[in-house]
Structure 1
Amino acid sequence: MQSVAGILGDRWSLLIIRDIVFDGKKTYGEFLKSEEGIATNVLASRLAFLEDQGILSRAPSPDDGCKDFYTLTEKGLDLIPVVLNIVLWSAKHDSKSYVRRRKEFVARLSQSPLQVSEELKALVRNGGCMFPESKE
């Protein structure tokens, strides 16, 4: 069995999960457009790894059979509280954090982390995301 550090110990795994949860990204091409600039081979490797670990599931796109949709499994959804804690840390300590522009969200998360986490898990489970307007 993989350790948590083995699964989430690299930046790309967390960024893929972040992009699903916050931006609603679902396809290889959408993940590739993330501002961090992941290399194509690294992205393919991380998606396959996260799928092998049961964090992501992959299914053909209903609109385009040539594309696959990646979604969080229940195991992956259980990582949302971890990601939200990282978001809070980032908002507090990282002056370049994009989440700092989301003051209302950060304030609500700070006040009710469990409630926000459960709401976000339900939203993502149903195909939504936290900030749908930021999706490219």
Structure 2
Amino acid sequence: MTSLRPAKGDVFDPDCPARRLLDRIGTKWTSMAVKVLAEAYPHEVRFAELRRRMPGISQKMLSTTLHGLTRDGLVERRVEPVVPPRVHYRLTELGLSLDAPLAAVRDWAETHMAEIDRANAASGTAEK
């Protein structure tokens, strides 16, 4: 009997767990949100504070990012029923477990981004 699950590590298969996860968390905003919330863990962070600590993110993009993280069970959302509502976020245990792999990617970038920038400059395709 043939398994319907993709072969482990087959990122070319749309059902590959790694590919599906990268589709969800592969943005700079997701990585930043997880980092900010991990630094505060186990405490909550209000929406406005998250936005302040993530320079350049729009209110809409932060809302979209947090909605996706909440939907995926990585973040919990709590709303205080006041006017205007106070919205708080915190990582779940599952979300906290994502911080270490993302930190490894951030560390790799700190070590190697200058090399990538040099390669881009040398090829005439420098990107920010």
TM > 0.5: yes
User: In 2, Cα distance between the equivalents of 1:26 and 1:65?
Assistant: 16
What is aligned with 1:4?
21
Q: Would you say 1:43 and 2:83 are equivalent positions?
A: no
Shift of 1:70: 0.6
Question: Which residue of 93, 107, 131 corresponds with 2:112?
Answer: 93
Structure 2 Cα separation of the partners of residues 35 and 10 of structure 1: 13
Q: 1:18 aligns with which of 35, 45, 56?
A: 35
- Residue correspondences, number: 95
Letter in 2 for 1:13: T
Q: CA 1:21–1:42 in structure 2 vs 1: closer, same or farther (change >3 Å)?
A: same
Partners of 2:39 and 2:101 in 1: how far apart? 14
Aligned equivalent of 1:57: 76
How many Å apart are 1:41 and its aligned residue?
0.8
Name the counterpart of 2:119. none
Whichever of the two has the greater Rg, that structure is 2
TM-score in terms of structure 1 length: 0.58
What CA distance in whole angstroms lies between the structure 1 residues aligned with 2:67 and 2:54? 21
Q: Superposition RMSD on alpha carbons, in Å?
A: 2.9
The corresponding residue for 1:109 is none
Quick one: which of 73, 76, 95 aligns to 2:95? Answer: 76
Choose 29-38 or 40-49, whichever is displaced more.
Answer: 29-38
Give, as a single letter, the amino acid of the residue that structure 1 aligns with 2:26.
G
User: How far off its partner does 1:23 sit?
Assistant: 5.6
CA distance in structure 1 between the aligned counterparts of 2:74 and 2:25, rounded to whole angstroms: 10
- Structure 1, gaps ≥5 residues long: 96-136
Asked whether the 8 Å contact 2:45–2:89 carries over to 1, the reply is yes
User: In 1, Cα distance between the equivalents of 2:22 and 2:86?
Assistant: 30
The alpha-carbon distance between structure 1 residues 94 and 23, as it changes in their structure 2 partners (threshold 3 A), is farther
Which letter does structure 2 place at the counterpart of 1:12?
W
Quote the Cα distance in structure 2 between the aligned partners of 1:28 and 1:77: 18
